[in-house]
Structure 1
Amino acid sequence: MFILDEMEQFQCEQLVFCQDPSSGLRAIIAIHNTKLGPALGGCRMWKYATEEQAVTDALRLAKGMTYKAAVSGLPFGGGKAVIIGNPNTDKTMAKFRSLGQFVQKLQGRYITGIDLGTTVQDMDWVNIESEYVTDITGSLGAFGEFTAEMTAYGVFLGIKASVGKVYGSELLKGKTIAVQGLGKVGYFLCRYLHEAGVQLVVSDINADRVKKVLNAFGARPAAVDDIFGEACDIFAPCALGGILNDQTIPQLKCKIVAGGANNQLAEDRHGEALHSSGILYAPDYVINAGGLITTAVDLGGFDAPYAKRRVERIYPTINSVFQLSETLSICTAAAADRMAEQVLAKA
């Protein structure tokens, strides 16, 4: 991997490699863009197979955060930290305090928070060494998993907008939705959908999560590898990124893809592939912006009711993406990119 070439491809401002032998920390901080404000984005902990995978993930996620903030009208840029390690076995206070020292040295260019594989406790450890962290004890992010719920709420609103676009009515009752990934966001999304009368088909690599959703919402299980081919109205990816690709898109039997996962498209061209297949795609960084919006609201000193009202703006934003796609005869992924890039160009 040629690091500077990778950074140029993703238009990334700064890439910070962090290693600390005393704690065992091996991490990467990607600061994608700070035109609109300091780079805001969570810290992910994952057992990456290679360092190259960790770098690419950090770069892709950081760019997504920039675009997410831009289309959501937030005064922040995009960034992301990734820690190489198993979140179930490799966590220590020393590692997160060490990360906090690296974050502090950036003097506010990057603000971190929770993400896949990290928790409020981890951010409390980061906070011992750095003031540039959110989702700590006492924040909205620590309040009853509120950030994850608001992410799911935004996805739910985006699904309603998508259903209205395709079916002419936003009524969800009787629709079948396949949800891939039943972590915090996936679980809360299933709750919203169940309350709206949706028939749920679900999958997750964690059997306990599947059982929990089956018992709570009367869902039907699907094998992890079979969920893409389930006959449904909407496919909602809420797990890892890169799942919409040359192998999975031909399997889809739905009219809409709308879910909470980041970086759902393996490559930009897969947005056009969905469009050509007649599938309406709700761009991930638009529909799943509820968590980032909540964090931004928290940093601004506002409360939970205001955060929920702010998340509700996702609905008209998604409709604006659909309208621009139709007006310019381009796929929705390209339309969302154009909207974000127009905001950045004016900064």
Structure 2
Amino acid sequence: MIYLDNASTSLIKPESVGLAVMEGINSRYFANPNRGSYEMSLNSLRALYNLREELGELFGVEALKVALCANVTTALNLVFNALLHEKDHIITSMADHNSVLRPLNHLKLKGVEVSYLPLTGDKIDLSYLDKLLQKNTKAVCLTAMSNVSGQVTHLKTAADFCKKHGLILIVDGAQAAGTMDLNLKDFDRTVLCFTGHKSLYGPEGTGGIALKGDIKFEEVFSGGGGNSNDDHQSPFMPDIFEYGTINVHSNLGLLAGVKYLKSMGLDKISRDLFELSSYLYKSLKSLEGVRLYGDHADPHGPIVSFNYKDYSSEEVADLLWQRGEIATRAKLHCAPLFHKAMGTDKRGMVRVSLSTFNSFEDVDKLIETLKNIP
């Protein structure tokens, strides 16, 4: 089996990740953090703080400015609802995922206004930021990397615009975290939402929010934690976004995944993935009947999407699996506005997404299998 659907989740993970989860449970060494002064409770507290430190170093924020939650979708929903109110305006883009679009569509029903940056090719056209700016604009939310084409957003341009106009930048880092530099040290008021189960190589059910700068969030979800005498959730990071019992065991796996990433070196991973995805792009481009979407200039994520001959994207993905046990992803990839802009909202695309566990031989097998589809 050749797994090429890493933009959905990294199926193949470092062995250390599974061992960390299993040993975390079987050792009986990790109890509920923040609920006791006994050793097993403190073990969990220390492990989670270690994870915050590792993530904080990766993203350029303080350890206690990292809140842990279930995934990037949860993170984005919490942040939107903690920041946006009736008559507020937010700018996003046509490249963004339904994890951004759907929560904002829900907030539209509550009086929040939303504008969308258009695409030029498969790139978000940031020149429209000035054109979409309104007096009531409060934030800009952008994907750091398209989950369909792998196109990288120039976040510093957006960050400079937000700083100039006193806005908050919200970043969907689902695809970029672990494949490119997402360090926020030179950013102003920025909220990075990330997931653990893709290129950070953690288990499903992990992710979080990393905060750079001072931003006031309102309580939108609350429960156990902090001082039991308080009537409300603590307004400070990370407690404002952490409620109830944290998924300690899965986060032990995420800690192992982040340590694997750092042991490999993020710069090396980015270079290797760019080299491999460039080989994929060029190999597909040389194949008769392939239509590619977007270019593959540096920087670019490890994602390439295409269509083949007159087949639907679902037919190609099914044939790749049936004939070569090659796992890819078809259809709209939860990014309907991107596909509408690219004219593929009916046909979709076949998405190939790579990880550090893929090889040039995997790409060759993909190309050979495609060649044998008449």
TM-score (norm 1): 0.33
Higher relative contact order (CA 8 A, sep 6+): 2
Q: Relative to total residues, which structure has the larger helix share, 1 or 2?
A: 1
Larger Rg: 2
